[in-house]
Amino acid sequence: MNIALDEDDIALINALQIAPRIPWAEAAPILGATPNTLTRRWQRLRDEGLAWVAAHPSAVNPDFSTAIVEVDCQPGAQTRAIDQLKRDPRVVSIEQASRGRDLMLTVMTRSLDELSSYVLDELVNSPDVRNQRCRLMTHFHHGAGDWRLDALNKTQVAALERFGVHTHPPNVRLPAQGSWPLIEALMEDGRATAAELARRTGRNPATVRRQLTNLMASGVLRFRCEVAQKLTSRPIMCHWFGRIPASEYDRTVAAIKTLPELRMLLTTTGDTNLMFSASVRSQADLLRIERVISEMLPSLSITESVINLRTAKRMGWIIGPDDRSTGEIVVPDAIKPR
């Protein structure tokens, strides 16, 4: 593991993966530290782009359309294409892939019509794009916000989970009118307190506390602690595409969700109907996972595995070549008021 992250850093990040908005006063006794120590440590991690708490549009929002779009670039145009796509608020994530496509985009829009217009009219006509293939996400089973570093003991995890449950409400509804300034501020700092939000937005603190409570309950935002993954003990991320018969759908999803390395699991349209991702320690782990999956799920036909070579954007946050956050965020278009 890179020395940029020590054991205390990993423990703090793991805690915020479970409870992204837990107050430092509540986290301190669980982690065996003082609030001031946690405050300083977190500020360093954030300033150095090693970890950050992201607020992002909920992928399970029924009003949104989300797709995985695979892009083939024109020869020599990949860097230019990435620079353009990073600025596009409909493209929330960008990965450079190992084979079969140059880029993998996560695109999120307010409607299927908006998604169709972007993919069929704008993206395909870009001078840097040679071809694209679109897979609509039809069900979201497990997200990156559920991935854990597993650096804490069971007692610590249980204590933190009491503070984390409110960040993943079961249902999504439209936030109250006038919530946009709070949403925008939370996009920039997912741990911003009501007092900090009041200062940033120029609103009355009591009003902000009430609006923040309603916004959190709406489920329109998800909160997750991100980390410069290449500096952790699981630096390699791989995506698998496969196909399952409809009769095996529930059993397959339940089995894959037991993988401790699992980062994402979703069903899609296209020639394959299942996509899952895992963060692993080494390339040898990839074969091990495929072997485990084949033994558990003989009806699942895995057609392809794709290693993420580099991330350029992750849920709106611009990522540098060293996998650290640059501190710049492009607020996703889907969440903006109309």
From CA 265, how far away is CA 309, in angstroms rounded?
Answer: 19
Beta-ladder partners of 96: 103, 310
Is it the case that residue 236 has pLDDT exceeding 70?
Answer: yes
Cβ–Cβ < 8 Å for 264, 275: yes
Report the pLDDT value the prediction gives residue 168, as an integer from 0 to 100: 54
**In 189-305, which residue ranges form alpha helices assigned H by DSSP?**
194-201, 205-218, 249-256, 284-296
The pLDDT of residue 295? 95
Q: Greater confidence, 170 or 35?
A: 35
Q: How confident is the model at residue 58 (pLDDT cuts 50, 70, 90)?
A: confident
Please state the pTM of the whole predicted model. 0.92
The residue behind tokens 């889907």 is: 334
Other beta carbons less than 10 A from residue 16's beta carbon: 27
Burial (CB count within 10 angstroms: exposed 0-12, middle 13-18, buried 19+), residue 233: middle
Instruction: Provide the pLDDT confidence category of residue 64 given band limits of 50, 70 and 90.
Output: confident
Average pLDDT of the segment spanning 88-95: 97
Find the mean pLDDT for residues 21-46.
Answer: 97
* Radius of gyration from C-alpha coordinates of the chain: 20
Say if residues 205 and 194 touch (Cβ distance below 8 Å): yes
Distance of alpha carbon 236 from alpha carbon 232, whole angstroms? 9
Specify the pLDDT at position 70.
Answer: 96
Per-residue pLDDT, averaged over 315-320, amounts to 96
Reported as type and span, the H/E element at residue 223 is: strand 221-227
CA distance 188 to 313: 14
CA distances from 166 to 18, 22, 158, 185, 292 (A): 11, 10, 14, 19, 34
Residue 336 has pLDDT above 90, yes or no: no
Tell me, what's the pLDDT at 2? 45
Q: Per residue, what are the HEC states of 127-174? A: CCEEEEEEEEEEEEEECHHHCCCCCCCHHHHHHHHHHHHHHCCCCCCC
Q: Is the pLDDT confidence value at 187 over 80? A: yes
Confidence of residue 219 (pLDDT cuts 50, 70, 90): confident
Handedness of CA 288, 312, 326, 26 (dihedral sign): negative
Terminal-to-terminal C-alpha distance of the chain? 45
Confidence of residue 4 (pLDDT cuts 50, 70, 90): confident
Rounded Cα–Cα distance for residues 163 and 20 (Å): 9
Identify which has the larger pLDDT, 83 or 217: 83
Q: Picking from 106-110, 119-123, 302-306, 332-336, which range would have the lowest pLDDT averaged per residue?
A: 332-336
CA–CA dist 103, 99 (Å, integer): 9
Which backbone phi and psi does 178 adopt, to 5 degrees?
85, 10
- The first and second tokens of residue 143, run together, are 């997200």
Q: What percent of the chain is predicted at pLDDT more than 70?
A: 94
Question: How does 245-279 read in b/e, with b if 16+ C-beta sit within 10 Å?
Answer: eeeeeeebbeebeebebbbbbbbbeeebbbbbbbb
Classify residue 327 as left (phi > 0), alpha (psi -120 to 50) or beta: left
Quote the tokens at residue 8: 């205390």
Report the share of the chain in percent with pLDDT over 90. Answer: 80
* Residue 170, pLDDT score: 57
pLDDT of residue 1: 41
Residue 173: per-residue pLDDT: 67
Beta-bridge partner residues of 308: 97
pLDDT digits (tens, 9 = 90+) for 143-184: 888 889 989 999 999 999 998 755 555 566 666 677 889 999
Neighbour count for residue 154 (Cβ, 10 Å)? 7
* 130 contacts: CB under 8 Å, gap ≥ 6: 72, 73, 74
pLDDT tens-digit map of 256-294: 999 999 999 999 999 999 999 999 999 999 999 999 999
Q: State whether residue 259 is helix, strand or coil.
A: coil
Average the pLDDT over 306-328 and give the result: 96
Rounded distance, CA 267 to CA 231, Å? 29
pLDDT at 192 over 60: yes
